[in-house]
Amino acid sequence: MVMEESAVMIERMKGSLTPCYEKLVALDIDVSVFDNSGSHKEGIELTYQKVDGYAPIFAYLGEEGYCVGASLRKGSDHSQKDAPAFIQESIRICRRINPAQELLLRADSAHDSADTLTICHDEQVQYLIKRNPRKESPEDWLSLAKEQGAQTIPREGKKVYTGSLKTFNPDINQELRLVYQITETTVAANGQLYLIPDINIDTWWTSLTAPEETVIKLYHQHATSEQFHSELKTDLDLERLPSGKFATNQLILTLGAFTYNLLRLIGLETLKKEDAPAAERTNADGSKQ
């Protein structure tokens, strides 16, 4: 109910939605650790960052970072736990703001699952999801990348191979585009030689037809979620939630997300005023003047 009203507020105030690529507006899904060390609140457990706390999942819309989903979770919960329902609800909230808006869902490898991909296909949402390589061989990837990818050499002892391919995904019974960037390092940045080359694998599922470099750049922009997390945790002081009851803290987090959106709208609106700093001033549609 609260997130629904938040969507109504954004829609009525005509909050700007800045695309990340062509007409696509980003929908970023991300988990953030709320450090609550030293407390004994309901749901406080050891998180993946090895601190006691919660592991809430968030959804942010557009370059503006409107929060369209905020769900409190126990600290030990895996990122994908209950994520499919959360993603579906976040998409619904986005379409409450603007039914015609095209979306690009971005998520890290914790959400590399058949459920996530199926939702994107069923909801007709574009996607860019980091893959989990699981038990895939780095050597096999390097061999393929050397044969098919484009090579760059950013420095001595470091080669990067970038490319894409079509591959059948048996989990959803469809052929998908896979973008890869394989890095082979034989010399460390300080000049030390490696006895065995270090091979780093980065691969993504995507529905985009954009060049590989553009796809990778778009994924790296997903990291702006950390800025939005920080504003919720520090500016609104929500990290150490006040109640011992899990349900109460969920309500407080949701109300905090509503407040965050309200402050964001106010801030964006002030940038449209004539007395706003020239470097920050925007037009009515949110574009820079």
Residue 279 has pLDDT above 90, yes or no: no
Q: What are the pLDDT digits (tens) for 121-141? A: 999 999 999 999 989 999 999
The CA-based angle 26-83-18, given to 5 degrees, is: 10
Between the alpha carbon of residue 144 and those of residues 6, 98, 137, 149, 201, the distances in Å are 47, 42, 11, 8, 12
pTM of the predicted protein model: 0.90
| Residue 113, pLDDT score | 94
| Cβ neighbours around 171 below 10 Å, total | 12
Per-domain residue ranges for the chain?
A: 1-130+208-289, 132-205
| Residue 271, pLDDT score | 74
Between the alpha carbon of residue 189 and those of residues 157, 186, 193, 196, 220, the distances in Å are 8, 10, 10, 15, 22
Average pLDDT, the chain: 93
Q: What are the pLDDT digits (tens) for 166-195? A: 999 888 999 999 999 999 999 999 999 999
Residue 209 has pLDDT above 70, yes or no: yes
Residue 273 has pLDDT above 80, yes or no: no
Q: Which fold has domain 1-130+208-289?
A: Nucleotidyltransferase; domain 5 (3.30.420)
Choose among 126, 97, 122, 288: nearest CA to 209.
Answer: 126
288 — pLDDT class (breaks 50, 70, 90)? low
